[in-house]
Amino acid sequence: MLRVGLTGGIATGKTTVVAMLRKLGCHVMEADKIGHEMIAPGGAAYDEVVREFGREILMQDGLVDRKKLGAIVFADPKRLARLNAITHPPILEEQSRRLSAIERDDPHAIAVVEAALLIEAGFDRKLDVLVVTWCTPEQQIARLTQPGQGRGLTVEQARQRIAAQMPIEEKRRRANEEIDCSGSLEHTRAQVIALFAKLKKMEAAKSGDARTGI
């Protein structure tokens, strides 16, 4: 099985690219969704997050209000680091468990882990290929602040979230493959199709090496 990491800055096109890869036949897991599970009631990180940030972050039904939590942590790097310290270990453990399950069920799978903080969490070291999506900083801010279609952030909030992540140029330096999401959707799709063809060849080579003991 080929283990692929997909990362990039916030609003650089990761969600679009991962949806395309899923449609092409890749097994996909999204760290954000796993993270939401971890901070849901009964989740591995729920109690500690509530202890750390207070019951003020909870909605009436006991769910964590992610907007309230985000407002706290993205305004204070130390609080963000604390949240990551609580949530990353169970997220990484669950990612590893799911990858192992995929490999048992489909030994020749292409498994994609999509995570904004994949490099920062050190999970890239467990993967065969690192793919980074990118676009211009101006496009990131526009996508984050666009009313209705974006995340509805203010420009200041958008800049906080971009600044909280590893600079995109550093991620690109670490990448094995890149997807330029600054152009049209068709331009992105063409790159993803070409990437998928490469990944299939890499998986076949890896499986061949495993069978021959190389």
CATH topology (fold) of 2-204: Rossmann fold (3.40.50)
Global pTM reads 0.90
Instruction: Quote the pLDDT of residue 212.
Output: 47
Main-chain dihedrals φ then ψ at residue 107, nearest 5 degrees: -60, -20
For 10-39, write each residue's pLDDT tens digit. Answer: 999 999 999 999 999 999 999 999 999 999
CA 142 to chain centre: 20
| Annotated domain spans of the chain | 2-204
Does residue 214 register a pLDDT over 60? no
For 58-116, write each residue's pLDDT tens digit. Answer: 999 999 999 999 999 998 999 999 999 999 999 999 999 999 999 999 999 999 999 99
Contact 57, 72 (CB under 8 A): yes
Residue type, 180: D
For 137-183, write each residue's pLDDT tens digit. Answer: 999 999 999 887 667 889 999 999 999 899 999 999 999 999 999 99
Main-chain dihedrals φ then ψ at residue 50, nearest 5 degrees: -65, -40
Q: What's the sign of the alpha-carbon dihedral 185, 191, 197, 201?
A: negative
Count of C-beta atoms within a 10 Å radius of residue 80: 17
What 185-194 contacts at long range (C-beta under 8 Å, 24+ apart), as own/partner pairs, is 185/16, 188/13, 188/16, 188/17, 188/20, 189/20, 192/17, 192/20, 192/21, 192/24, 193/20, 193/24
